[in-house]
Chain A
Amino acid sequence: MESFYLSNIDGIYVIVFSVLIGIELIKNVPAVLHTPLMSGANAISGIIVIGGIIHLLTLSISDISSIVASSIAVLIGTINVSGGFFVTHRMLSMFS
């Protein structure tokens, strides 16, 4: 796992640059796209599901309580991701 090690200063760089990019990206979004954008961004925040997947893949299957909790997390996280992208697609399809 050492290849994913993030030193503190790297992390701070990522945070600062991500904030700046985020602001720059949607600074001039027309109001017409606000709702789809919110829903698309919401789907992206579902990337948290990766944490649940890591848990599920590293836990021993006999650790019932953690396995159950992680399973719930992965299931609802996936609903967030897939539902978010699908509904954004549905909204945007109407514009074309």
Chain B
Amino acid sequence: MTLLINASYLLSAVGFILGLKFMAKPTKAKLGNMVSAIAMGIAITATIYWHSTSGIGYTNGLLVFLLLISGSIIGKLLSGKFAITQMPELISLFNAFGGLCAMIIGVNEAFLKDANQLYIMDKSILLLGVVLGAASFTGSIIAYFKLSNKLKWQIKSRLYSILTLVLIVVMSLLHYFYPNAFSFNHLALALGASALLYGILFSVPIGGADMPVLISLLNAVTGLATALSGIVFESTIMLLGGILVGSTGVLLTIQMCKAMNRSLKTVLIGTTKSIGLDNDNSETQEVQTTSAAETATLLAFSKKVAIIPGFGMAVAQAQKECFEIHQRLESSGTDVNYIIHPVAGRMPGHMNVLLAEANIDYKYILDMDEVNHKMHDYDAVMIIGANDVVNPAAEEDEQSVIYGMPIIKAHNSKQVVVLKRSMASGYSGATNTLFDRNNCKLLFGDAKNSLLQVLDELKKI
């Protein structure tokens, strides 16, 4: 019996590793996800089977069964309810659930175990799991609200977050030196509550542009909380799964930081360069505007065209119109490419998903690094709803909040057309100096409408 259960856990561990391995390859990613899901199913089934042999009550089993079924259905419904543009929000919401789950399980465990039989190491691991789970929960909730623009505060709560952390450490030390001052389960509750507060205070100061890094980091934190629970439950599969997620999460976080030129340290401390200082400049910028007809003429007479899509395009749901223009240009012999910034959209890879949604083939999509040195080859560059990622201030203006961030060097091409709704600044709040350039023209309006107009004009040519 135990052999069968152990074999199942081993199988599920192998499944997670293979699943992640496949998920790192574009052609096998879908299979990888299924393999991981099956591995999860095996692990859950084995757990139920294992405990059902030790004579549990019928009611308990039924309860677990009902919860698993309803949880799966709610998860399925939620996963279909969000638009592809809202994926980052959804991921942070799911991560919040994972964190809350870790916190509740940890606190419950503290109440169920006899504190006198626990070594200091056991207690520390259990409490750390509770703290990480709780902080990940509220932190992810804040990230969710910030990403969906329901929350715009940016309070400088860094000092308070450090104070909360100090409070957590002091309470733990107090319990260590005076075990009788308050009981272990009360300590677990108090630490959980403080960590909930800490998660909020930690996430609130982080700017909207840093949200992807925050989510990835909190994802890693949930992984770590899971791993710690794995130690508490002496379950290798939980430990392994948690550590895998933790290490991949940290690695993803570092890769994202590099793409955005933010040091992990500044994100971890919860600081962000002050935003909004140079917002006012936007009104004083002198820009050249253009019309749909002029844009269509420019595109039609170009040999090589690049389209730089940003989150604005996805919000306007303009991918299909964009692809129609692309097809039209291509049929008349123009080369069309899409250039994607690593953090275009709201997360690395998010824009690729959005373009895939519009059936735009992978072969037209180029990474920033592949083309940045030959941008001058492009006769026309059309920027749709992207802002910060093409802002030359990142290279030239040391005062700019985005100074140092790698950008797509659209300004080096022969002519740039920017489709924009208004002169509002990008996610970072920085003034975009590209708009001042002689080779840059702005086409104001909703991206979808503008593209439709351009398409109409193209048909007339």
Give me the interface of A with B, judged by CB distance under 8 Å.
1, 3-6, 10-11, 14-15, 18-19, 21-23, 25-61, 66-67, 69-96
Contacts and interface: CB of A to CB of B under 8 A. Distances in A.
26 contacts: A3-B2, A3-B5, A11-B239, A18-B239, A19-B243, A19-B247, A25-B248, A28-B24, A35-B352, A35-B353, A37-B252, A40-B20, A40-B23, A41-B249, A42-B245, A43-B37, A43-B40, A47-B238, A74-B67, A75-B70, A77-B101, A81-B72, A84-B79, A86-B80, A90-B79, A94-B357
Contacts of B61: 57
Contacts of A61: 57, 59-60, 63
Contact of A23 (B44, B52, B247): B247
B297 interface: no
A70 B40 CA distance: 19
A69 B216 contact: no
Most buried by B among A19, A44, A70: A44
A68 B30 CA distance: 36
A6 B122 CA distance: 13
A6 B356 contact: no
A84 B75 contact: yes
Given A56-B63, A92-B30, A14 B236 contact: yes
Nearest to A22: B247
Contacts of B95: 42, 45, 80
Contacts, number: 353
Interface in B60-90: 60-61, 63-64, 67-68, 70-76, 78-80, 82, 84, 87-88, 90
B interface: dominant SS: helix
B97 interface: yes
A67 B59 CA distance: 11
Nearest to A27: B251
B291 to A, nearest CB: 34
Given A18-B244, A50-B47, A54-B233, 4 more contacts: A44-B40, A51-B238, A70-B104, A93-B30
A12 to B, nearest CB: 10
Contacts of B353: 35-36, 91, 94-95
Nearest to A88: B33
Contacts of A58: 51, 54, 56
A22 B58 CA distance: 39
Interface stretch (B108-116, B170-178, B269-277, B390-398): B108-116
Nearest to B90: A87
Interface of B: 2, 5-6, 16-17, 19-21, 23-26, 29-30, 32-34, 36-37, 40, 43-44, 47-48, 51-52, 54, 56-57, 59-61, 63-64, 67-68, 70-76, 78-80, 82, 84, 87-88, 90-91, 94-95, 97-98, 100-102, 104-105, 107-109, 111-112, 215-216, 219, 222-223, 225-227, 229, 231-249, 251-252, 255-256, 259, 340, 342, 345, 347-350, 352-353, 356-357, 362, 365, 367
Q: Nearest 7 pairs between A and B by C-beta?
A: A78-B71, A82-B75, A22-B247, A83-B75, A34-B349, A18-B243, A86-B79
A38 B91 contact: yes
A70 B234 contact: no
A85 B36 contact: yes
Contact of B108 (A35, A70, A78, A88): A70
B79 A50 contact: no
Contacts of B237: 47, 50
Contacts of B223: 41, 45
Contacts of A4: 6, 234-236
B36 A53 contact: no
B243 A78 contact: no
A92 to B, nearest CB: 4
A47 B105 contact: no
Nearest to B218: A42
